[in-house]
Amino acid sequence: MFFRRSTPLPPEPELVFDPGGRNRPLQIRRMAQAQRMRLSVDPRDGGVRLIVPSRTSLRAALKWVESKRGWIEAALDALPQARPIEHGMTIEVAGEPLRVELADQGRIVRRVGGRLVVPRPPELMTGRVTRWLRKIALERLEAETMRFAARAGVSLGRVSIGDPRARWGSCSANGDIRYSWRLILAPPAVLEATVAHEVAHLLHMDHSRDFHAAVERLLGRDPSPERAWLRAYGRELYWLRRES
């Protein structure tokens, strides 16, 4: 087995999994309600995540992970290649191409026409552009959520963003809605359909026939193409890895 501790004798061992010569953190989470072991690869950083029932021994869990080596390597290979933000590259933001340019003057990231101007130094570009993208994502998602909430005639709680591993959006019973900021990198129709989906949960907190009818009514069209796009291409939105 290719496991090693990343720190000496922690309370819950922090392990590193080495698939295909690539070092990846192996994070183990014990859950009392878990009925079986579940394995996943986090698209945000390539980390291997393992959920185990609370009584499962560490030795048995590691042996099981080792038996899934082929699946883990295939999942890692399926992740998009991580790319840093660099001068001269073009990124799609809400469906519009923006050319990233490094600037000698200024203190904030700013959009100038079809350019995204980023102040020096170049080693801070990725972090600065990521923070700008998150800001733009929140503004766009808040506006779209308010628009659909008004159409649905429902009251909203707080709209926020995060960087979840698997969900593009979530809605709580108190009306709070949280989205993945990476939706700003998707086609606008995909972002719009995701917002309609979450707002529809304020009408139906389930995935019943009435819920799906509400999504289509709010959106004004069948959202199936946008959902299919996320299933097929959603992982490509993780080309920009989260900041360490």
- Do 66 and 45 lie in a common domain? yes
Last residue of a domain, one of 78, 104, 122: 78
The pLDDT assigned to 124 comes to: 93
Q: Is 133 a domain residue?
A: yes
The pLDDT assigned to 14 comes to: 60
- Do 74 and 98 lie in a common domain? no
Last residue of a domain, one of 51, 78, 105: 78
The pLDDT assigned to 165 comes to: 82
Last residue of a domain, one of 78, 109, 125: 78
Sites in the chain below the pLDDT cut of 50: 1, 5-12, 243-244
- Do 166 and 108 lie in a common domain? yes
Q: Is 12 a domain residue?
A: yes
Expressed as residue numbers, the domain containing 40 is 3-78
User: CA end-to-end span of the chain, whole Å?
Assistant: 27
Q: Is 83 a domain residue?
A: no
The DSSP result for 139-192, as a single string, is HHHHHHHHHHHHHHT-----EEEE--SS-SEEE-TTS-EEEEGGGGGS-HHHHH
The structural domain count of the chain equals 2
The pLDDT assigned to 7 comes to: 45
The pLDDT assigned to 75 comes to: 85
